[in-house]
Amino acid sequence: MTVIDANRMHEIEARYPEYFHRSFRQRFGGLMIVIATLLYGLYAVWFFDLPKLFAEAHWERVGIYLSQWVSYDVQPEFRIQDDGSIAVRYPRFSPLGDNPHPDWVVDNPDGSITIAVSGAGLAVTVSKSETIVTAHGVSVPVDVSSGAPKVVGPVPAWMTVYDDNVLADLGFAGDVSISVDRVKIRKRFLGWANFVFDTQSSFFDKPVGEVISLIVSGPRIKPDQSNLSLAFDDIWNNSEWQHGDVWTKLFQTIVMAFLGTLLGALAAFPLAFMAARNITPNRLLNQILKRFFDFLRSVDMLIWALFLTRAFGPGPLAGSGAIFLTETGTLGKLYSEGLENIDNKPREGIQSTGAQTVLVHRYGIMPQIVPVIVSQTLYQWESNVRGATIIGAVGAGGIGLKLWEAMRTNANWENVAYMVILILIVVFLFDAASNALRHRLMGSRTH
């Protein structure tokens, strides 16, 4: 065991003072950061009033919207006539078509109608004097023979009684609204209704095998058009899903992102050489251009889109212009910083040979800066595909505007899901293509 005397200890302390005489910041810096973070979190909770926000939030709408993303509903209405008969009506734009006869609506011999709401154990029977709702293992009769609907017996938790109607909430299966003279039913189905052919198509409601047979070898439905062309037209012009318009707007978004990024890169490239201190030794010009880049970046792309839609009107031109202005500032800053961090030795070596300035830039600077330019430009390009969707919502065109229109109706959430999935697929493909192109151009592909 080695014993260190006092002199040896003082010598070690003098040699390594950073370990024996640590400052207050070194000793308590980590603890102060943790305390500051906790205090900021408490301040944020108070400032945004998070307890009240969470307590008053409509959490039930989350489940409703998510269910509407992956399902559709049919809303038949059963009206009780004066003679005791029951008339069945469907909305004008029912997903079942103009003359629906679903097998889940059954006419009974006694004149009543039974509707299988969803699966076994869930049903509604409508008659002249009462409506019987069977759900959750119990059958609840509702008397409609008097002036107001009245639940016979105890009222279950999933049923709400109002002055002029009774509402039965059947969960994902739908709901039933019962009044004296009519019963409205909302029956929910999984899937997207009429995604391929709408109710106006000649191929609507036909089995897949029959559709394929008609397209391949069947007689022409329209004498002046082949069945294949007719099927494509019906899909492309589907009035419910609007595939043609959605895909056209999606292509507009991609073009906006590409054009805006390309123009921004072309404008930023020469400006970056003039903004870099080691390339252009003019401090005034350097500062003017760098502040110009800061100005273009400080105004968000969404704000530029609002300005340009006012100037040029709604459309993809405003979107491309907004991306161009933002990318000129962003890429200009990134390019100029990359230029300022290059190794000057190759440049000085080429200058010593008496080469022209263009050749000095070409062989002394470009080989070092190309990886930065390629990497940052491709990243901004794939990022702008997402950004173009957002600015489209303020009138800059593209699928963002169509997505916003679908959300504003608060009823076409399956169409919203369709467009969101398309956007996700496009972003994923562009991300993969950008990575592959980046590796190929920079020569770093892994095997």
Residue 380 CA to residue 334 CA, distance in Å, equals 11
Could you give the CA distance from residue 412 to residue 173 in angstroms, rounded to a whole number? Answer: 18
Q: Which residue ranges in the chain fall short of pLDDT 50?
A: 445-447
In a 10 Å sphere around its CB, with 0-12 CB exposed, 13-18 middle and 19+ buried, how is residue 130 labelled? Answer: middle
C-alpha to C-alpha distance for 294 and 254, rounded to whole angstroms? 26
- pTM equals 0.79
What's the pLDDT score for residue 445? 44
Both tokens of residue 286?
A: 């350097």
- CATH class of the 243-442 domain in this structure: mainly alpha
Q: Write the pLDDT tens digit of every residue in 351-398.
A: 777 777 777 777 777 888 888 888 888 888 888 888 888 888 877 778
Q: What is the pLDDT of residues 94-126, one digit of tens each?
A: 888 887 888 888 888 888 888 887 665 788 999
Cα–Cα nearest to 149, from 186, 183, 105, 115: 183
pLDDT digits over 294-307, tens only? Answer: 999 888 888 998 88
The four Cα atoms 403, 409, 413, 419 give a dihedral, to 10 degrees, of -10
| Averaged confidence pLDDT in the chain | 85
Enumerate the domain spans of the chain. 14-57, 74-190, 243-442
By the 10 Å C-beta count (0-12 exposed, 13-18 middle, 19+ buried), 427 is classed as middle
- For residue 384, which of 325, 339, 438 has the smallest C-alpha distance? 325
The DSSP symbol for 173 reads G
Q: Give one DSSP letter per residue of 3-32, joined into a string.
A: ---HHHHHHHHHH-HHHHS--HHHHHHHHH
Main-chain dihedrals φ then ψ at residue 308, nearest 5 degrees:
-70, -30
Among left, alpha and beta (phi > 0; psi -120 to 50; other), residue 397 is left
Chain center to CA of 383: 14
What are the beta bridge partners of residue 89?
77
β-sheet bridge partners, residue 167? 160, 177
CA distance 419 to 34: 42
Contact 184, 77 (CB under 8 A): yes
